[in-house]
């Protein structure tokens, strides 16, 4: 096991991957991780089209060949025919972690009623956690970090509070967070 966590970042967008507009997903993920993680990590970034075979190949390569213990995807999680990120993720999964998708929708429903249409999810492949995040930078932050009141108290926990312990349980490299951003939960025992 590598002691430094490798994190795969995958932005899935037909138009951004074709150069029609600048991708905002990868920079949002990079900035959020830099502000949140307090332990060393390295990232491998991919900007790809919303094609199921390509997404499956990319996820498998990041985990199986490059040793990523965490893979964060952004984009392609809606109900439109071209939104195939969850389908590709399920195709490469060993186990589904339904709580991640449930919590992401719970957070997003605070802002938009159409969050119920999201098919975001979390899965385990080998010793890696793969999370399908929303496509907008603000939604990425809210989903990972949770919702806080004006005093900074967490009102709705983000999904990332559970990620470090999940990585511990599946045998990935250990990571720590900056508690002012996200307080990772690990049982006392």
Taking only the tens place, the pLDDT of each residue in 74-116 is 999 999 999 999 999 999 999 999 999 999 999 999 988 999 9
Residue range(s) defining the domain that contains residue 119: 5-170
User: In DSSP terms, which residues pair with 6 in a beta bridge?
Assistant: 42
Residue 186 lies in a domain: no
Residue 87 lies in a domain: yes
Q: What is the 3-state secondary structure (H, E, C) of 86-149?
A: HHHHHHHCCEECHHHHHHHHHHHCCCCHHHHHCCCCEEEECCEEEEEECCCHHHHHHHHHEEEC
Domain count for the chain: 1
Residue 43 lies in a domain: yes
Taking only the tens place, the pLDDT of each residue in 5-55 is 999 999 999 999 999 999 999 999 999 999 999 999 999 999 999 999 999
Give the C-alpha separation, 113 to 94, whole Å: 31
Residue 175 lies in a domain: no
Residue 106 lies in a domain: yes
Residue pair 10/74 in contact by the 8 Å Cβ criterion: yes
- A 10 A CB-CB count for 48 gives 19
Summarize the confidence of residues 140-165 as an average pLDDT: 91
User: In DSSP terms, which residues pair with 130 in a beta bridge?
Assistant: 71, 123
Residue 183 lies in a domain: no
pLDDT band at 2 (very low <50, low <70, confident <90, very high): low
Residue pair 107/146 in contact by the 8 Å Cβ criterion: yes
Residue 187 lies in a domain: no
The CATH number of the domain holding residue 89 is 3.40.980.10
Q: Say what the pLDDT of residue 95 is.
A: 98
pLDDT above 90 as % of the chain: 88
Residue 93 lies in a domain: yes
């Amino acid at each position: 096991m590598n002691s430094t966590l490798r994190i795969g970042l995958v932005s899935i967008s037909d138009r951004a991957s074709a150069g029609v507009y600048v991708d905002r997903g990868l920079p949002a993920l990079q900035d959020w991780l830099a502000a949140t993680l307090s332990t060393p990590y390295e990232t491998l970034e991919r900007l790809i089209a919303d094609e199921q075979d390509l997404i499956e190949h990319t996820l498998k390569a990041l985990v199986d060949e490059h040793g990523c213990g965490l893979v964060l995807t952004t984009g392609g999680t809606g109900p439109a025919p071209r939104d195939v990120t969850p389908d590709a993720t399920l195709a490469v999964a060993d186990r589904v972690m339904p709580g991640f998708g449930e919590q992401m929708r719970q957070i997003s429903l605070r802002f938009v009623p159409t969050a119920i249409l999201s098919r975001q999810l979390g899965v385990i492949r080998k010793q890696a956690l793969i999370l399908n995040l929303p496509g907008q930078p603000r939604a990425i932050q809210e989903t990972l970090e949770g919702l806080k009141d004006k005093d900074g108290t967490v009102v709705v926990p983000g999904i990332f509070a559970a990620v470090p312990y999940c990585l511990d349980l599946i045998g990935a490299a250990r990571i720590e967070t900056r508690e002012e951003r996200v307080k990772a939960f690990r049982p006392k025992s």
